[in-house]
Structure formats: C-alpha cells, structure tokens
C-alpha cells in the first residue's frame, strides 16, 4: 500500500545537519509516510550519514545539479498522495504532518498547504529563535507576485498539483527561487491555505541559500526571474491578478533600495529608486520612493 505522504529532502554537503533533519521526521506523531532523500553530489560525508538511516529512508544519489533537480528525482520516485518538502538543515515540529494531513482532509478543495516557520540560530548546542516567517492571511497568486511568503520546509501539496503543474524548473537561472516559481505555478490553478502557527524551524547558517545576509541585488534579480518565468507561462497573469506589471517591478526595486538604505548605502539605494522610475512613472511610485526614503519601515 502506498504511503499517504512522501517527504522529499534534497541534500548537498549537509553532514552536520541532515541527521537531525531526518530525525525530526522520524519523530512525527503521524506515521503514514515515506522519506526520500537525494544526495545532490555532496563532497563531504553526507552520503554516509544518509546510509546510516537505511532502510528507514530511501536514498538516491546524483551529480550536483541544484535543489530543483534533486527534488524532481525524489518526486519521480515517490508514491504518496501528498508531497511534503523539507530542506536538509531544517526541522519539523512533531505534529507537523498530522496537522497538515488533517487540514487537507477537512479542506479537500486545497491544493497546497503551508504554515509559518521559526527562524533560528544554533549557538553552543542551544537553538535561539530569531523571528517567525510565513504570511498566512491571504495566500493567493496575487500576493505571491509581491514576494515569496511561503517557507519551503512547511509546504505540503496534493499529488494532483504535480500531475497538473509538472515538476520544478531546473534552470540554473532560478536556483534559490525555483520553489517560489513553483508556488506561483501551482497557485495559478489550485487554492492554497496557510496555517497560522509555526510547524517548522528554519536554520540560519552561513552559506544557505536564503540566509539573513543574502545579497540584495541578487535577491532582486532572482525575484524578477521567477516572476518573469511565471509571466512566460501565464501571459494574462497581470489581468487575472489585477496587478500593474510596471508598478510591481518598480516596487521590487524600491524594496531593494530600502534594504540598501538600511545598510547605510545611500548611493546604491538611489540607484534602485531611479531604476524603479524606469519601470513606472505612476504617482504611486513616487509616493513609495518618498516613503522608503523617510520611513524606518517599508515593504
């Protein structure tokens, strides 16, 4: 009999953390699942750690190709009715699967369910919570266009979503935002829901793809790349979501400029504000720039 949930974990050079990640799945209060881990060409001892968990987990190996290709390999070898994503250094609270499966059963119209997550750092073996992430009030494609508010390690999707939307985009241009593009692709055809409580812990560490020190310009470029790919797939997205394309891209540039301002880099901030005006000259854009310039908080 097929499991109800397939847990998908891509792993790359994760020997320090992946055992704790897998253990957080094995400790779940809900037991009808399979765990599929793909070693994405690690050069450290990750594979040996994974092998130590067999046969409780299924292990696949492949040359390094990025998290999207690793997740796709796992999905192709999965059989669960639901697919749950978990990054190799993150953790789940013990009733994460139980709560999400129950939510799906009481809301059969939903295609994707996520939750909030707590960001933490680990110092001397102690986990210190830094903040809670995940916007759950109105999870729609329109809201996703303004930013990725879905923590990857909280997501569970129905198998039908994969059958309809396809696998993740493996383009190297989308590395670090391949999940963002995927959520938008799913949201175009399926309803989403967010559980307003943290069901996962997101580890902040040097070198992870979404850490607090993420490069501002790179983040802007990647967000634009993910949205542009969504636009390529769904050319009518702006009319469907009632969003002005130019104003949206202007807002993304202003957000980047505000981030530069907070770092004290006023010249870089001004460059982003000018770039915003090249996207749209609507009076709203001017007001946003003024607000970003004088306010302490802006988004």
Q: In the structure, what pLDDT confidence band is assigned to residue 1 with cuts at 50, 70 and 90?
A: confident
Which among 268, 273, 240, 135 is positioned nearest to 193, based on CA atoms? Answer: 135
Sign, Cα dihedral of 269, 274, 277, 283: positive
User: Within 10 A of 142 (CB to CB), how many other CB atoms are there?
Assistant: 14
pLDDT in tens, 206-224: 655 444 435 899 999 999 9
pLDDT at res. 124: 78
Contact between 153 and 90 under an 8 Å Cβ cutoff? The reply is yes
Q: What is the rounded average pLDDT of the residues 139-151?
A: 94
- Count Cβ neighbours within 10 Å for each residue of 46-81 and write b for 16 or more, e otherwise: bbebbeebeeebbbebeeebbbbbbbbbbbeebebe
| Superfamily designation of domain 5-203 | Spore Coat Polysaccharide Biosynthesis Protein SpsA; Chain A (3.90.550.10)
198 to each of 25, 142, 149, 177, 276, how far by Cα in Å? 15, 23, 13, 22, 34
Strand partners, 119: 131, 202
Q: How far apart are CA 35 and CA 139, in angstroms?
A: 27
Using an 8 Å Cβ cutoff, are 194 and 114 in contact?
yes
Distance, CA of 38 to chain centre: 18
Q: Say what the pTM is.
A: 0.93
Six-digit token string for 204: 């902040």
Only one residue has tokens 């995927």, namely 182
Q: What is the pLDDT of residue 297?
A: 81
What is the tens place of the pLDDT at every residue in 265-296?
999 999 999 999 999 999 999 999 999 999 88
3-state secondary structure of 54: coil
Structure tokens at 1: 């009999």
Burial label, 236 (beta-carbon count in 10 A; 0-12, 13-18, 19+):
exposed
138 falls in which pLDDT band (50, 70, 90)?
confident
Question: Are the C-beta atoms of residues 7 and 57 closer than 8 Å to each other?
Answer: no
Residue with tokens 């999207």: 68
Q: What is the pLDDT of residue 214?
A: 53
Angle at 222 between CA 219 and CA 227, to 5 degrees: 125
Where are the domains positioned within the chain? Answer: 5-203, 216-294
**Under 8 Å between Cβ of 299 and 263:** no
């Amino acid at each position: 009999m097929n499991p109800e949930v397939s847990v998908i974990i891509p792993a790359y050079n994760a020997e320090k953390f992946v055992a704790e990640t897998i253990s957080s799945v094995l400790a779940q209060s809900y037991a009808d699942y399979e765990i599929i881990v793909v070693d994405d060409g690690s050069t450290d001892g990750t594979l040996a750690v994974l092998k130590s968990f067999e046969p409780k987990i299924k292990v696949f190996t492949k040359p390094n190709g990025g998290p999207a290709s690793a997740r796709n390999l796992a999905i192709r070898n999965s059989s669960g009715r639901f697919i749950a994503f978990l990054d190799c250094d993150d953790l789940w609270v013990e009733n994460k699967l139980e709560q999400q499966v129950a939510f799906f059963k009481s809301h059969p119209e939903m295609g994707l369910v996520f939750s909030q997550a707590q960001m933490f750092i680990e110092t001397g073996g102690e986990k210190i919570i830094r903040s809670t992430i995940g916007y759950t009030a109105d999870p729609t494609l329109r809201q996703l266009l303004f930013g990725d508010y879905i923590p990857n390690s909280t997501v569970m999707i129905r198998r039908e979503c994969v059958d309809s939307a396809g696998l993740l985009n493996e383009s190297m241009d989308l590395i670090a935002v391949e999940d963002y593009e995927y959520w938008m692709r799913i949201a175009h055809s399926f309803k989403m829901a967010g559980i307003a409580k943290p069901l996962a812990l997101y580890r902040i560490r040097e070198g992870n793809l979404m850490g607090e020190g993420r490069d501002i310009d790179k983040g802007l470029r990647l967000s634009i790349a993910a949205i542009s790919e969504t636009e390529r797939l769904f050319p009518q997205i702006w009319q469907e979501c009632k969003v002005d394309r130019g104003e949206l891209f202007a807002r993304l540039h202003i957000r980047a400029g505000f981030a530069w301002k907070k770092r004290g880099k006023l010249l870089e901030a001004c460059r982003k504000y000018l770039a915003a005006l090249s996207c749209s000259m609507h009076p709203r854009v001017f007001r946003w720039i003024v607000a970003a310039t004088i306010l302490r908080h802006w988004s």
